[in-house]
Amino acid sequence: MDQIIVGNGSNEIVELLVRTFLFPREEAIQAFPSFLVYEKVVKGAGGEMVFVPLKELKIDLEGILDKISPETKIIFLTNPNNPTGLGIEEEEMREFLRTVPEDIIVVLDEAYIEFAKGSGIADGRDMIDLHPLLLVMRTFSKAYGLAGLRIGYGFGSKILIDYMNRVRQPFNVNMLAQIGATAALDDEEFLSRTISVVNEGKKYLYKELEKMGLEYVPSVTNFFLIKVGKARDIYERLLKKGIIVRSMEAYNLPEYIRITVGKMNENEKFILSLREVL
C-alpha cells in the first residue's frame, strides 16, 4: 500500500507530482504531440517544458535522453501515446529506464494500457524496479468507463509516494468513486467485452477507411488518427451531423482527426457521415 497513491483522475496525480517535486525554472521533458495537460501543470508551477518531436509518429526516446540537462527533474512518457495510439515496446523501455540518470523522475502514463494487452507494449508493472524514481499512472476513465467518477492511481517507489501523500489533500477521492473502482477491478467480464468491442470496431473502421482511400495510423488503443486533409473543416462538418471527433491542430497535426472507436452502430454512422462530408 505504501507504493500506491490515488487521485481525482490521473490528472490530479500529475498535479501532485509537479507540486511536490518541481521547483520554478526546473525542467520537465515530454514528447510532442502528447498529452497536453503536462505542459499546463508544469508551467503553472513555474517550470519549463522541453518538447521532443515524435519520430515517424513514435516517441523518440533517444531524443529525450539527448535533451536531459542539469535542470531536468521529470520526464513524462505517455504509453501508449495520446494522440497517436502508438506504444513503446518492452525492450526499448527497459533500455531507456536503465539509461536515465537515477535522480530524474520518470512518469509512465498508462491511461490506455488495457487496450494494448498482448501487443508487446511495455507494461509499467514489470518495470518498477528498473528505475528508483519511476511513477506509473493508470486510470479507471478509459477501459473501465468511469470517467465521470474521477478516479486514477499511481504506483512507484516508497519515497516518491510518501512525499506525494504529504502534499495530497486528505479526501481527494470521493466514496462513490472508490466503490465504483473496486467493483470495476472485480468485473473482468466487462473489461474483456469492452476490449473485444473496440478491437472489432477497429477492424471494421480500418476496412472502411481503406475502401475510401484514406490513410490512418493503426493503434493499440481505443482511438486512432485519420488523415483527412483540412481536419478543422472536416471536424466542423461532422459536428453538424452530430458526430464529435477531435481536430489535431493543437497537436501540430492539422491534416488529422482523431476518433474514438464506439459501438458498431456508432462506427457505421461515423463512416456514413464521413463519406458525406468528404
Does residue 217 sit in the same domain as residue 156?
Answer: no
Which of 166, 186, 206 terminates a domain? The answer is 186
Does residue 242 sit in the same domain as residue 147?
Answer: no
What domain range is 206 assigned to? Answer: 189-277
Which of 117, 151, 186 terminates a domain? The answer is 186
- Map residue 255 onto helix, strand or coil: coil
Task: Identify the CA nearest to 169 among candidates 1, 39, 12.
Answer: 12
pTM of the model: 0.94
Under the banding of pLDDT at 50, 70 and 90, the label for residue 117 is confident
Contact yes or no for 146/140 (Cβ under 8 A): yes
Give the integer Cα–Cα distance in Å for 209 and 219. Answer: 14
Does residue 237 sit in the same domain as residue 252?
Answer: yes
Does residue 180 sit in the same domain as residue 233?
Answer: no
Q: What is the pLDDT of residue 247?
A: 95
Domains contained in the chain, number: 2
- What is the mean pLDDT of the segment spanning 61-74? 98
The per-residue pLDDT for range 134-181, each reduced to its tens digit, is 999 999 999 999 999 999 999 999 999 999 999 999 999 999 999 999
Contact yes or no for 159/11 (Cβ under 8 A): no
Does residue 195 sit in the same domain as residue 160?
Answer: no
**Over pLDDT 90: what percentage of the chain?**
99
The per-residue pLDDT for range 260-270, each reduced to its tens digit, is 999 999 999 99
Does residue 142 sit in the same domain as residue 219?
Answer: no
Name the residue with cell 515530454. Answer: 30
Does residue 197 sit in the same domain as residue 272?
Answer: yes
Give the integer Cα–Cα distance in Å for 155 and 138. Answer: 9
The per-residue pLDDT for range 222-274, each reduced to its tens digit, is 999 999 999 999 999 999 999 999 999 989 999 999 999 999 999 999 999 99
Does residue 208 sit in the same domain as residue 174?
Answer: no
Does residue 90 sit in the same domain as residue 62?
Answer: yes
Q: What is the pLDDT of residue 97?
A: 97
Give the integer Cα–Cα distance in Å for 26 and 24. Answer: 6
Does residue 139 sit in the same domain as residue 76?
Answer: yes
Name the residue with cell 518541481. Answer: 22
Which of 132, 155, 186 terminates a domain? The answer is 186
Does residue 52 sit in the same domain as residue 163?
Answer: yes
Domain CATH number, residue 247:
3.90.1150.10
Give the integer Cα–Cα distance in Å for 213 and 259. Answer: 17
- Map residue 137 onto helix, strand or coil: strand
